[in-house]
Amino acid sequence: MANSRRVVIVGGGSSGWMAAAYLNASLNKRGTESNVDITLIESPDIPRISVGEATVLSIKHILGVIGINEQDFMKATNATFKQAIKYVNWLQNDNSFYYHPFNRFSPKPIDRMALAWLASDKSLPFVETCSAQPSICEAGLSPKGFEAQNMGSPFAHAYHMNAQKFADYLCDIAVSRGVKHVLANVTDIELKDNSHIAAVGTDRAGRFEGDLFVDCTGFRAKLIEEKLGVGFEDCSQWLLCDRAVTMHVPYDKHYPGTVRPYTTATALSSGWVWDIPMQDKRSIGYVHSSAFIDEELAEREMRAYQGGECDELASRFIHFKVGRRHRTWEGNCIAVGLSGGFIEPLESTGLYLSDVGVVMLAEHFPYKDENMDAMAFRYNRILSNRFYEILDFINMHYCLTQRTDTAFWREVQKPERITGRLKAKLDFWKIKPPSPLDFEDQCFSGMSQEPLSLELTGGDNRVAVDNAGIWNHLNYQFILYSMGFDKVSEDLYGKNKFQSQMHPLVARRLAGAKANLPSHEQWLKQILGMSDFKTTTRPAGWV
């Protein structure tokens, strides 16, 4: 252990314990070898933000490396399945909706499904021509059966879960495998030089030296900002929401009669509300812009969405800044989670940035001090690209809306609210559908090639590149063609349209699913032991 690299993680929660458990599993072979000595310092006095969390597919890599069984994980975190996101009232305020699913059928060797749909009468939504999951979600089916069945490849899924229980679960695993857990407040941060931390002091557990420090202190950014002074790029010009009012809705008093196998994102007057189902409650939260609605009205609107006499349920406001740290790795300090940046979780990327930050740190782990700068350079470049990829994708959901019923929705459509990168992508996709090669180097006509400021990037002034690290051309097609972008096809494909239809293989897959899959609620009860609840009333805002 004397020659081990010392990693000190400051801050717990989901980000901190993901870092501890994943680094221990990947660098120490799940704790059986001690190449890295990991200590996590967690304040016993700072309350954790506890909300329901929706994840993306990458969470399975984290669980797999740590060695977590799916059912054990779901029982420990009150988790449910997530197969898609259902967007309600995003195009028009008329209860219309569309799905962004995980599964999509892609014919080989050439996928012409987008071209075929653009040339059709569009009587069937594009997503339903190439994916069975929207219909599976509408039917409330589980992505898994009670037993293994010959239904072809499994339906891709992620999870909804209790984030606080997830942190506690990872804590138990990590500590049992050798991670040191210290309950104390960090009171002092000692520097070796202007950009390298030597040690942190605490109020009740002494001093901790380290070779690498991971800042998981949330929006406080206690190490990366308060001590090292790394700046923050404000991206609120592109995403206007800066508040969330949240509420837990327990099933023992407010059970809607079903557990949806998807996340719902419903657009309201000045933002949108997430609706995340778990095994014992739903988590809802209204993400909104304080420039267009005050806190009292925002809370009232969220409660109206829930309906059902929910006045007894406690709510809480969260203030946030949309943006990114100029450098997430500075010296020997790496910011993971909210300390490194934040984008509203419209596409369930809340945990993703923590996830990818931790996975990349393991891959770029500096076993020698002389390798630190080279590792930091690549880490910062890749993380900044991922951030801008998310920023553009979320920005696209807003700027394509056709809503004009409130000032907020009129504002988000204005040209100055659309990132330059996204404008160039959309202009290009007016003349062809998104395809894999569009993400080869992300240099489109009209896209700015102005170098970035070295002061803001730590030495890498190249323009950002979207390499489809999270979403590829198929994901873009789902959103574009669900939000009216297909109207650009009239000039290209003519007015004589054939009827759009579900691909025969998709139809066959859907029929098999309906014949063999149980309801989501049935699966949760039989496999995980979810409790029975008496149905009350469904939320007023449900579609």
d(CA 31, CA 41): 19
Cα separation values, 103 from 70, 128, 137, 287, 475, Å: 19, 11, 12, 27, 10
Of 526, 377, 362, 392, residue with least CA distance to 470: 392
Mean pLDDT to the nearest integer, 62-71: 96
Q: Is residue 281 part of a domain?
A: no
Q: Which two tokens stand for residue 100?
A: 């962004």
227-263 pLDDT, tens digit each: 999 999 999 999 999 999 999 999 999 999 999 999 9
How much is the pLDDT for 168? 97
How much is the pLDDT for 1? 43
Whether residue 151 is predicted with pLDDT greater than 60 in this model: the reply is no
Say whether 432 is catalytic: no
Which residue, chain included where needed, has tokens 């799916």? 70
Mean pLDDT to the nearest integer, 471-487: 93
How much is the pLDDT for 192? 93
CA 489, distance to chain mean position in Å, is: 31
Q: Is residue 280 part of a domain?
A: no
CATH number at residue 75: 3.50.50.60
Query: Given the DSSP bridges, would you call strands 333-335 and 212-215 parallel, antiparallel or unpaired?
Result: parallel
Number of neighbours of residue 245 by Cβ within 10 angstroms: 23
Helix axes 473-482, 372-399, angle to 10 degrees: 20
How much is the pLDDT for 2? 47
Q: What is the DSSP letter of 525?
A: I
Instruction: Please say whether the dihedral angle defined by the alpha carbons of residues 383, 389, 392 and 397, taken in this order, is positive or negative.
Output: negative
How much is the pLDDT for 461? 83
Number of neighbours of residue 136 by Cβ within 10 angstroms: 26
Q: Is residue 87 part of a domain?
A: no
How much is the pLDDT for 493? 67
CA 413, distance to chain mean position in Å, is: 23
Q: Is residue 457 part of a domain?
A: no
Q: Is residue 279 part of a domain?
A: no
296-312 pLDDT, tens digit each: 999 999 999 999 789 99
Q: Is residue 56 part of a domain?
A: yes
351-395 pLDDT, tens digit each: 999 999 999 999 999 999 999 999 999 999 999 999 999 999 999
Given the residues 82, 86, 144, 165, the one annotated as active site? 82
Whether residue 121 is predicted with pLDDT greater than 70 in this model: the reply is yes
Whether residue 475 is predicted with pLDDT greater than 50 in this model: the reply is yes
- Confidence band, pLDDT 50/70/90 cuts, at residue 319: very high
d(CA 199, CA 109): 56
Q: Is residue 506 part of a domain?
A: no
How much is the pLDDT for 49? 67
List 161's β-bridge partners, or say none: 53
Domains in the chain: how many in total?
1
Q: Integer distance in angstroms from the first to the last C-alpha of the chain?
A: 57
d(CA 241, CA 61): 31
Instruction: Please say whether the dihedral angle defined by the alpha carbons of residues 311, 317, 322 and 323, taken in this order, is positive or negative.
Output: negative
More confident: 47 or 145: 145
How much is the pLDDT for 454? 72
Mean pLDDT to the nearest integer, 188-198: 94
Please give the residue range of the domain that contains residue 165. 5-79+161-233+324-385
Q: Is residue 283 part of a domain?
A: no
Mean pLDDT to the nearest integer, 87-106: 96
0.85 cut: is pTM over it?
yes
d(CA 138, CA 510): 12
Mean pLDDT of the chain: 93
Q: Which two tokens stand for residue 127?
A: 């997503």
Mean pLDDT to the nearest integer, 522-532: 97
More confident: 441 or 5: 5
